[in-house]
Amino acid sequence: MLLGRGEHGAVFTGSISKREDKIAVKTTLLSMSLTSAKQLLKEIKILIHVGKHENVISFIGACTAEKHRGKDGFLQPGYT
């Protein structure tokens, strides 16, 4: 289910096999600029550094390998 759309991608609800938690999956577009990609990587680093916090969604992981293969990449923050 689509939660929202922005200039560089969209956010969907999702789930992880064998877990009941709902997640948000942030996808990126192939047309994302290098500057935007760097900003996304900074966002990922911040989420990793913050760790668990009551005012920030939990970060599960990111897949950036597909971006290099010509496919959309995605970020999976926890959805609470």
Structure tokens at 78: 């926890």
Domain that holds residue 32: 2-77
Per-residue pLDDT reduced to its tens digit, 48-79: 888 888 887 788 888 766 554 455 555 555 54
Name the pTM for this structure: 0.63
Q: How far apart are CA 29 and CA 9, in angstroms?
A: 5
pLDDT at 47 over 50: yes
Average pLDDT over residues 25-38: 81
List the CATH number of the domain containing 69: 3.30.200.20
Q: How many domains does the chain have?
A: 1
Q: What is the pLDDT of residue 50?
A: 85
Per-residue pLDDT reduced to its tens digit, 1-22: 999 988 778 888 888 877 777 8
Nearest to 26 by CA among 13, 39, 38: 13
